[in-house]
A and B are shown apart, each in its own frame.
Chain A
Amino acid sequence: MTTHSPRFWRCIPQRYRLTGTHCTMCNEYYFPPRTICPNCRRDAKMEEHKFKGTGTVVTYTIIHNATEDFERQTPYNLAIIELDEGPRLTGQVVSSKSGIKIGMRVRPVFRILGKEGERGIIYYGTKFVPIED
């Protein structure tokens, strides 16, 4: 019945703990992790890096129409966030009394990302809240 377990499981370190990679050759940080550095390619020297999770909102939208999986949560904020170490990711910004704006500082929280229906697994992962909260 439920088919996505392995695909979700593989990415648990990234979704739960923001584990990415760092190329010690060119000093670039990657999240999600890249096994190959686009700058150095086969000359890359990659090591694991756990990101702090704090960052800044680069751009955002407020989603009113979502796919079935997210329909109940609308409207919700989605943003592109630049982590302090450099890489950017896409994530939800929740529990914000002050709304959302470009330049807002955020920190990570552990939340439910979704569920495979009533009977399937629960996808946990990282969302973001304003840093002062």
Chain B
Amino acid sequence: MPSGIVSYGVYIPRFRIRASEIARIWGESEDIGRSLNVFEKAVPDMDEDAVTIAVEAARHAVDRAGLDPCRIGAIYSGSESHPYAVKSTGTIVGEAICTSPAFTAADFEFACKAGTAAIQACLGLVSSGLIDLGLAIGSDVSQGAPGDALEYTAAAGGAAYVIGSRDLAAEIESFYSFTTDTPDFWRREGMPYPEHGGRFTGEPAYFKHVTSAAKGLMNKISVTPEDYDYAVFHQPNGKFPVRVARKLGFTKEQIEPGLVVPHIGNTYSGSCLIGLAATLDVARPGDRIFVTSFGSGAGSDAFSIKVCDKIEEIREGAPSVRDYIAKAQYLDYAVYAKHKGKLRL
């Protein structure tokens, strides 16, 4: 039976730091924003973390469609910055959104694609009839080491998707995943900051996996980029998704609504999911959206999504991605470092 997105919700913290401010501190060109196509990124408040962001996004998802949270039979939360290495974020989200205890939960990790993996797991449980609704979340307060290139893009934010098989706002028609052991970017247990392979994260990692998953899906269901109104690709910076879209044959117009990284940075597990939400905020019934995530380590999940009539009914029920992008409050580097706990006291 058709399954897909019953509702969605996002949360992006209000604080921002400009790329030019980070560059100022580290003696880089203040024009660096243009070369990354990331001009500012979202910074969490001192009392926010991947869990609080997950809760806010999940609450919006439930409220948007006026759902009864007790129908949720699974909560899978994906992040690279779960505050507990042992104790599931899903348990806290469940209590916060008033589910009954009759649900399963587990935390996902697959770098930036943990959220889409969570969606796939929910699709399985829902379309087999084992549960009524599933909640898949991608949220992060990703850390970039001070002075490292990642510091310009590692941002905070999250999105939550309620997956079900009736009253669909958007049907997930099919998906295809491509996964290999590719050590392009990782973080060892107990280490505060990730390591990355520099240019190795490009062709052998991001581009290979995104294009393989995307082409795999297009072959599987016999579609071409022209069959889609919109496309969303994982956004580690503002250049890669533009390049991969072009490589695959998608246009700038198709990816435009979902390209949020220039304004909020790379929200890691939230990246693709926030891009998809931004697209759902404007898409019309009948529109088709092609989504491909990427997680370092490495893997990509590609989805073909068709928007349904119900989207019009639920869209106004919670804040949009643009609403959050507009609420920006700028910090200088010192306050940013304090917020991110980079200052060892």
Residues of A participating in the B interface, judged by any CB pair closer than 8 Å: 12-13, 16-17, 50, 72-73, 94-95, 97, 109-113, 122, 124, 127, 133
Contact = CB atoms under 8 A, between A and B. Distances in A.
Contacts, number: 48
Given A16-B96, A94-B45, A110-B96, A124 B52 contact: yes
Contacts of B59: 110
Interface of B: 14, 45-49, 51-52, 55-56, 59, 83-84, 92, 95-96, 98, 327, 329, 338, 345
Contacts of B95: 12-13, 16-17
Give 3 closest A-B pairs by Cβ, nearest first.
A110-B55, A111-B47, A112-B47
Contact of A113 (B47, B55, B96): B47
Given A122-B84, A124-B92, A133-B327, A111 B98 contact: no
A110 B56 contact: yes
B179 to A, nearest CB: 32
A50 B47 contact: no
Nearest to B48: A111
Contact of A127 (B14, B47, B51): B47
Contacts of B96: 16-17, 110, 124
A50 to B, nearest CB: 7
A133 B327 CA distance: 8
Given A72-B345, A94-B47, A95-B45, A110 B52 contact: yes
B52 A111 contact: yes
A102 B292 CA distance: 48
B84 to A, nearest CB: 7
Nearest to A127: B47
| From A12, A72, A112, residue with most partner B Cβ within 10 Å | A112
Contact of A112 (B52, B84, B329, B345): B52
Contact of A122 (B83, B329, B345): B83
A99 to B, nearest CB: 13
B55 A112 contact: no
Interface centre among B56, B96, B345, by most A CB within 10 Å? B96
Contact of B46 (A16, A72, A97, A110): A72
